[in-house]
């Protein structure tokens, strides 16, 4: 099993370590497969997706970047890739459910117990930046880092 970092509007990184874990950036989405572990990191900020599930989004947590590597702590969400419901997609398993785009009218990123098309994500990487978009019917389906929120968060947006 490979472990990766996703930089959404950021970078994907792969694992190599124990307690304070070092992850390496993924630069080609075709190398990802079910069973891989990933963390999602904001591309131009020193923040990653947190284990904290707020009511309608995910908190961000500080990380340390060093070139194509990041060092994370226990509060960074490690996601296990699974096959999504739609061909060519992945489910992002938190260990307690699946991240999903939860609305067409609100910027919600939540966790659900049962895999759906809204928790099936197409991951693409262009110029070493990953974009992650849910395949379901909810139209606020782009997983993004929001640096202007106070505090910064990860959530789903319409573009």
Considering the chain, what is the average pLDDT of its residues? Answer: 90
Greater pLDDT, 72 or 19: 72
Burial 42-66 (b: 16+ CB within 10 A, else e): bbebebbbbbebeeebbbbbebebe
| pLDDT at site 59 | 98
Mean pLDDT within 120-129: 94
- Summarised one tens digit per residue, pLDDT across range 43-62 is 999 999 999 999 999 999 99
Burial of 105 (0-12, 13-18, 19+ CB in 10 A): exposed
Q: What is the pLDDT of residues 74-91, one digit of tens each?
A: 999 999 999 999 999 999
Q: What's the pLDDT score for residue 21?
A: 80
Residue 11: pLDDT above 70? no
**Cβ atoms of 119 and 128 closer than 8 Å:** no
Q: How many residues does the chain have?
A: 159
What CA–CA distances, in Å, run from 95 to 30, 92, 99, 130?
A: 24, 9, 10, 22
CA dihedral 52→131→26→70, nearest 10 degrees, is: -40
């Amino acid at each position: 099993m490979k472990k990766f970092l996703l930089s959404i509007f950021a970078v994907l990184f792969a694992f190599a370590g124990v307690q304070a874990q070092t992850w390496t950036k993924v630069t080609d989405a075709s190398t990802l497969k079910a069973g891989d572990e990933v963390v999602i990191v904001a591309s131009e900020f020193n923040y990653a997706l947190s284990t904290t599930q707020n009511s309608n989004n995910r908190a961000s947590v500080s990380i340390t970047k060093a070139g194509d590597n990041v060092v994370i702590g226990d509060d960074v969400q490690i996601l296990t890739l699974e096959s999504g419901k739609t061909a060519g997609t992945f489910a992002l398993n938190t260990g307690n459910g699946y991240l999903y785009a939860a609305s067409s009218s609100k910027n919600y990123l939540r966790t659900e117990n049962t895999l759906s098309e809204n928790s099936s994500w197409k991951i693409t990487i262009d110029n070493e930046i990953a974009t992650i978009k849910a395949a379901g019917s909810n139209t606020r389906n782009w997983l993004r880092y929001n640096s202007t929120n106070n505090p910064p968060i990860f959530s789903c947006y319409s573009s």
